[in-house]
Amino acid sequence: MKPGKSGARSSGEVVLLSGGNPQIAKGYGDAPVQAYIAAMPGWKSAVGARLDTIIERTVPGVEKAVKWNSPMYGMKGEGWFLGLHCFTRYVKVAFFRGARLDPVPPVGSKHKEVRYLHIHEDDEFDETLFADWVLQASRLPGENM
């Protein structure tokens, strides 16, 4: 397969797109999400693993997929409530109905309901607040993508 189609070179090395975002083939379930997390460059992989663990612990039975080179989390039959994406200086957590969360995540979007959390390498991370956002988000109608 060509690198652009599979997301991996013949050596098994994952292609990193702009900003260091891993190119992982679209897939459903935990395996493609774990492949994405493992391919996140540098400190971002540990952040991705931590976020994934918190999401799984907070929302037992959460559905996972990689779509558009981003891990997605959702509820069966309800759509996706959260996505991750690597950028050069941070990991972006997208809450697709984030404007409805209390408190509202700090970073706005051009989309009215979407809010973001950007996690930089040396940021303090409030795990309790993140878990609360995840739980709230999981209870809202998701995005069908």
Where residue 12 falls among pLDDT bands split at 50, 70, 90?
Answer: low
pLDDT of res. 19: 80
- The structure's pTM equals 0.88
Residue ranges covered by each domain of the chain: 3-138
pLDDT of residue 2 exceeding 80, the answer is no
Q: Kindly report the number of other CB atoms within 10 A of residue 49's CB atom.
A: 14
**Span 3-138 CATH architecture:** Alpha-Beta Complex (3.90)
> What is the C-alpha to C-alpha distance for residues 128 and 113, in angstroms, rounded to an integer?
22
Nearest to 70 by CA among 51, 94, 101, 104: 94
The 90-95 sheet, strands edge to edge: 27-28, 63-67, 70-75, 79-86, 90-95, 115-120
Mean pLDDT of 21-37: 94
Cα distance between residue 10 and residue 107, in whole Å: 38
